Amino acid sequence: AQTVTQSQPEMSVQEAETVTLSCTYDTSESDYYLFWYKQPPSRQMILVIRQEAYKQQNATENRFSVNFQKAAKSFSLKISDSQLGDAAMYFCAYRWAGNNRKLIWGLGTSLAVNP
């Protein structure tokens, strides 16, 4: 069975600094997607970034980038130039690339951004 593990329940970062959130996963599939979602207090789950397993290049979206290590089954999120609006719960999620849209989620990391 696929699993997603986030080992950091809470993290904090100073405004304008860089922070890295960790995620490991387990799967026997070769074709899958990995995601980082942000859930602010408003509860709306927002996609931050995604990575296709077949791509060796790490995904980047503005201040957000990932370090995808397929062999190690590691998928960390780096947030650069942190802003107060980045404060939220961050979830790492996995989905097989087949027809089923089922997402498997980690427990989340609560990120605080200090002014």
Verify binding: residue 64, other proteins, rule CB under 8 A: no
Of 28, 44, 57, 62, the residue at the interface with other proteins (CB under 8 A) is 44
Verify binding: residue 47, other proteins, rule CB under 8 A: yes
Residue span 9-28 as binding mask against other proteins, x where in contact by CB under 8 A, dash where not:
--------------------
Task: Report yes or no: 93 and 23 within 8 Å, Cβ to Cβ.
Answer: no
Give the C-alpha distances (Å, rounded to integers) separating 112 from 64, 70, 81: 16, 28, 14
Of 43, 56, 57, 72, the residue at the interface with other proteins (CB under 8 A) is 43
Q: How far apart are the first and last CA of the chain?
A: 41
Verify binding: residue 42, other proteins, rule CB under 8 A: yes
Verify binding: residue 103, other proteins, rule CB under 8 A: yes
What's the burial of 96, exposed, middle or buried (CB within 10 Å: 0-12/13-18/19+)? Answer: middle
Of 55, 107, 111, 114, the residue at the interface with other proteins (CB under 8 A) is 107
What's the burial of 64, exposed, middle or buried (CB within 10 Å: 0-12/13-18/19+)? Answer: middle
Which tokens is 23 given?
């995620």
Interface positions with other proteins (CB under 8 A)? 4, 33, 42-47, 50, 52, 91, 93, 97-108
